[in-house]
Amino acid sequence: MAAALFLLPFYLLIRNGLATREEITSPQWTFLPADLHWENVAALFVDTEVPFARSLLNSAMVAVLQTGGELLLCSAAGYGLARIPYRHSGKVLGVVVATLLVPTSVTFVPSFVLVSSLGWLSDLRGLVVPGLFSALNTVLFRQFFLDFPSELEDAGRIDGLGRWGVFRRIVLPNSTGFLAAIAAITFIGSWNSFLWPLVIAQDSSSWTVQVALSGLLTAQNPQLNLLFAAAAISILPIVLLFVGLQRYLVRGVTETGVNG
Amino acid sequence: MSTRSRRDTRDFWLFVGPLLLGLIIFSYVPIGWSLYLSFFDARNTVTPEVFVGVGNYTAMLTNEAFLSSLVTFSAFAVGIVPLTYVAALALALAVDRVKFAKAFFRSVFFLPFACSYVVAALIWKTSLFSGVNYGLVNSVLGAFGIDPVAWTGTADPPLYWIVLITARLWLQLGFYMLLFIAALQRIPDRLYEAAWLDGAKPGWQVFRYITLPQLRGTSVAVLLLLLINAFQAFDEFYNILGDARGYPPYGRPPLVYLYYTALGSGGQDLGRGSAGAVILSVLIAVVTLVQGKVLGFGKGRDR
């Protein structure tokens, strides 16, 4: 019963996305449109008034670059903090952890000022770079690597690998489950984020898909059937990812949630 | 300094340096700059010259709209926090209990996690709780002969809370349910066996004396996450209440207020926007530090 209620919004999304405008706004409720109007989907890629296809591409680029960059930066830093003996390691960790006190969304005004003075407005760099440096993921990686069996690393040392070699060839390949968990969470968060792209992507050519949808939604008299078709397409990649990587997602949620 | 420790130092900076540099540039610099701007008259400029002392702060703290945004957040939190907590715990217990299709139920409740707040806002605003007669809820009401309700159009009665709270509940419930399921699975079976031997009745007694105390750490973490996330609410408010005519004067949480102050079309007042950001940051930091006191910082795991 509750499960059916939970699926209801997805049903509405698909029903409205494949209906005509008149069917959606008819006072007579229909459970399914008389015909499935796949041309709604086609119209989205033909209509150049809203750069929908472009916004999908932008979102994909931002999410891929952000996830890849964040994994590399945060896993390396987490490993360094966990494993490399250094006098000021504790102080550095403190500097990282301190940023957890203030969520980035609250400081979007000064971050906007910084990004605009770098000349990164409406630019892929402005969308991707500020989000790469996640203190939370660094702390999570550090905790994970603290529990990593050091025998494996020792074996690599004996084989003459340097520190970077051990990290790249032994530690990372043996951490794929954890990496996938963090990657899945990061990718979804990046794809679905709205406030930062809204502030940064001021030209429609740099819009992400969420900003494009919001622009359509808050316009005068939106074309509902196209809007719903666009929304359905926008969640498709994430739903596929969800189905494929659910095991890792669940792990990612429990790792980040309890520590978040 | 031996070559060994020199190599360690070099390696350390090789691994940690890039991240630390980025954090300093994109976290510390904006916060510092924000502090600086907040003491200046910075309308439409990021290099202000007129020093106004704490003027921006007193202006913000006596500003009707800023204070009402904190009231809006409080009302939102009072609705969403306990509701999500109870529903997530109840669902976790139920899903943990079912014998068949456990994975299916878990997936269904977790699926909205894949949906963005913008898409949910769209479904809620233009289909589920649409104020016209073709909205789903109004169609159901219409079948009982009730006139269409304008869900988001009126400040009084504030029916828009029903729309906002159900949207967020649907989006985040599965996430918190998973946290509780993970915590439930960490409770050792011997505790339940001991309770059974002591004659505790299965059901309420076991829940009250075994399950709930064992979930204490997770409960505190969940309540704080809910609170901090509600404090940062922006996406669904902006998309459900705002439209081509702009944003109504009611139902503005702190970040929406800040967005319109600092970046809205009515001129960019970065001084006041920064002062607002500093005030909100301090509020969040205090809450987080209290959490650290309660849970031990960065170790929010059940022990």
Each residue's pLDDT tens digit, A209-225: 999 999 988 887 788 88
Q: What is the DSSP letter of B203?
A: T
Residue B175: the pLDDT is: 94
Q: How far is A29 from chain B (nearest CA, A)?
A: 7
**Chain B residues closer than 8 Å to A210 by CB:** 116, 118
Interface check for A254 against chain B (CB to CB < 8 A): the answer is: yes
* Tokens representing residue B54 in the block: 């704490």
More confident residue, B102 or B222: B222
B116 touches chain A (CB under 8 A): yes
CB B73 within 8 A of CB B253: yes
Q: Which residue in A134, A243, A259 sits closest to A186, CA to CA?
A: A134
* Rounded distance between C-alpha atoms, residue B89 and residue B180, angstroms: 6
Give the pLDDT of residue B1: 59
CB-based contacts of A72: which residues, under 8 Å, 6+ apart? Answer: none
Phi, psi of B246 (to 5 degrees): 105, -165
- A26-36 confidence digits (pLDDT tens): 777 777 877 78
Identify the three-state secondary structure at position B40. strand
Dig out the tokens for A59 from the structure: 């979102």
- Comparing A106 with B119, the larger pLDDT belongs to B119
Whether A257 has a pLDDT exceeding 80, the answer reads: no
Least Cα distance to B36 among B52, B25, B22 occurs for B52
b/e burial code for range B232-241 (CB count within 10 A of at least 16 → b): bbbbbbbbbb
Q: Are A249 and A181 in contact (CB under 8 A)?
A: yes
CB contact under 8 A, B118 and A192: yes
Residue B4: which pLDDT band, with cuts at 50, 70 and 90? confident
Closest partner CB to A81 (pick from B16, B112, B285): B16
Nearest to B255 among A29, A80, A105 (CB): A105
A29: number of CA atoms within 13 Å, CB side? Answer: 16
Q: If 0-12 CB within 10 Å is exposed, 13-18 middle and 19+ buried, where does residue A87 land? A: exposed
Question: Å from B116 to nearest chain A CA?
Answer: 5
CB contact under 8 A, B19 and A77: yes
B203-216 core/surface letters (b: 16 or more CB in 10 A; e: else): eeebeeebbeebbe
Average the pLDDT over B212-224 and give the result.
Answer: 90
Q: Among A218, A228, A242, A255, which would you mutate to test the B interface (most chain B Cβ atoms within 10 Å of its Cβ)?
A: A218
Interface test with A, best of B60, B115, B219, B243 (most A CBs within 10 A): B115
Q: Which of A245, A258, A259 to mutate to test the interface with B (most CBs of B within 10 A)?
A: A258
C-alpha span between B81 and B7 (Å, rounded): 50
Read off the DSSP letter of residue A151: H
Task: Please provide residue B43's backbone torsions phi and psi, each rounded to the nearest 5 degrees.
Answer: -85, 120
Query: A75 with A140: CB under 8 angstroms?
Result: no
Of B11, B30, B277, the CB nearest to A163: B11
Tell me the average pLDDT across A164-171.
95
- The whole-angstrom separation of Cα B53 and Cα B38 is 8
Sign of CA dihedral B217, B221, B222, B223: positive
Q: Rounded to a whole number, what is the distance in Å from the CA of A149 to chain B's nearest CA?
A: 19
Q: Looking at residue B47, what is its pLDDT?
A: 73
Give the list of residues 6+ apart from residue A236 with CB closer than 8 angstroms, or none: none
**A135: contact with B, CB 8 A cutoff:** yes
How close A77 comes to chain B (CA, Å)?
4
**pLDDT value of position B298:** 45
Which positions ≥6 away from B63 have C-beta within 8 Å? Answer: B272
Name the pTM for this structure. 0.91
Query: pLDDT tens digits, residue range B54-101?
Result: 888 898 889 888 999 999 999 999 999 999 999 999 999 999 888 788
Distance (Å, rounded) from C-alpha B261 to C-alpha B263?
6
Q: Kindly tell me if the per-residue pLDDT of B186 is higher than 60.
A: yes
Q: Which has more confidence, B167 or B250?
A: B167
The nearest CA of chain A is from the CA of B202 a distance in Å of 24
Site from B2, B4, B6, B27 to mutate, A interface, most A CB atoms within 10 angstroms: B27
Contact criterion met (CB below 8 Å) for B275 and B56:
yes
Assess contact for B241 and B248: CB atoms under 8 A. Answer: yes
Q: Which residues contact B112 (CB under 8 A, 6 or more apart)?
A: A6, A9, B120, B170, B171, B172, B173, B174
Q: What is the DSSP string of B250-265?
A: S---HHHHHHHHHTST
Name the helix (H) or strand (E) containing B71: helix B64-97
Q: What is the pLDDT of residues A113-128, one digit of tens each?
A: 899 889 999 999 999 9
Can you point out the beta strands (E) in chain B?
none
Q: What is the pLDDT of residue B254?
A: 93
